[in-house]
């Protein structure tokens, strides 16, 4: 599968901005550049992008605030940060608020291209899964219409199992619309926190360790301590959304020093 996509690069340093655009274009991507977060946000309002690369420190809007504005425009858009070594704590904080990953400066061309390919490949696979699921549902509905009134034959029609819905107890995840419901009540979660909950429910009731959780939810390979820090914010978000009492969780259980597990109510 050929990996393509339109990438927005937000970088105030002109030479680096142009170099990044050239590297990504040579790798087969379409690249648009912006010299500030404000300019990048203007582009996002009028143009469809598949991925954003942005410097963590920019004049004007920067860091976590920039990510919040980006996800206000497009909640599911992946955002990868560029950061220097002293800013790692800020980058980790940004990950808690929805950034997909961060890359340390000085940037290496092969790492930039590899990360873009990985993220966009995962996006294309998920999009194709949704398309296939939608087509299967349409075919099932057409089949039911064609055979309506023929009860005997209808009973013999095998059901096609698709992984659109993940259900544990009263909690249902719709992977097509990326919506959550509890007893038919719709619950909102940020995109990355949704992915964390999806991983936990797929593994339920088994324990998911911190590193596995981060790797499967965000595609990031992290050390245990870093992974533990990355998961805290998303677990907090999920508990606020699905638990009756987030301070006394009944569904999302902490396994001290190891990770978390989901238990259906």
- The pTM score is 0.56
Neighbours of 191 (CB within 10 A): 15
Task: Identify the structural domains of the chain with CATH numbers, from first to last.
Answer: 6-122 (3.40.50.2300), 164-262 (1.10.10.10)
Average pLDDT of the chain to the nearest whole number: 85
Residue pLDDT, tens place only, 162-201: 578 888 888 998 888 888 888 878 887 778 888 999 999 9
CA dist., res. 27 & res. 251, Å (int): 44
Alpha helices in the chain (DSSP H): 14-26, 37-46, 63-73, 88-96, 109-146, 151-155, 191-203, 210-218, 224-242
- CA distances in angstroms from 43 to 7, 32, 199, 222, listed in the order given: 11, 9, 33, 32
Q: Which tops the pLDDT comparison, 160 or 93?
A: 93
pLDDT bucket at 153, cuts 50 / 70 / 90: very low
Q: Do 8 and 43 touch, CB atoms closer than 8 A?
A: yes
- Structure tokens belonging to residue 119: 């993220």
pLDDT at 1: 58
pLDDT bucket at 155, cuts 50 / 70 / 90: very low
- Structure tokens belonging to residue 147: 């055979």
pLDDT bucket at 158, cuts 50 / 70 / 90: very low
Neighbours of 33 (CB within 10 A): 19
Residue pLDDT, tens place only, 110-129: 999 998 998 888 877 777 77
């Amino acid at each position: 599968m050929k990996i393509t996509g339109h990438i927005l690069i937000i970088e105030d340093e002109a030479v680096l901005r142009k170099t990044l655009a050239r590297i990504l274009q040579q790798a087969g991507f379409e690249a648009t550049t912006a010299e500030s977060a404000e300019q990048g946000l203007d582009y996002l309002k009028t143009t469809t992008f598949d991925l954003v690369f942005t410097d963590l420190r920019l004049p004007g809007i920067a860091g976590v605030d920039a990510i919040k504005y980006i996800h206000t425009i497009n909640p599911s858009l992946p955002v990868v940060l560029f950061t220097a070594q002293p800013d790692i704590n800020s980058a980790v904080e940004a990950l808690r608020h929805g950034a997909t990953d961060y890359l340390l400066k000085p940037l290496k061309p092969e790492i930039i291209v590899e990360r873009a390919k990985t993220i966009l490949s995962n996006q294309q696979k998920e999009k194709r899964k949704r398309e296939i699921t939608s087509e299967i549902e349409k075919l099932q509905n057409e089949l039911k219409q064609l055979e309506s009134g023929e009860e005997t034959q209808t009973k013999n029609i095998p059901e096609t199992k698709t992984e659109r819905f993940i259900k544990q107890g009263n909690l249902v995840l719709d992977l097509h619309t990326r919506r959550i419901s509890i007893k038919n009540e719709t619950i909102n979660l940020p995109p990355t926190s949704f992915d964390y909950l999806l991983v936990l429910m797929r593994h339920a009731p088994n324990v998911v360790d911190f590193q596995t959780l981060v790797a499967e939810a965000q595609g990031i390979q992290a050390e245990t301590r870093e992974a533990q820090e990355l998961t805290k914010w998303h677990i907090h978000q999920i508990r606020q959304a699905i638990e009756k009492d987030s301070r006394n969780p009944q569904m999302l259980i902490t396994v001290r020093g190891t990770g978390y597990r989901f238990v259906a109510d």
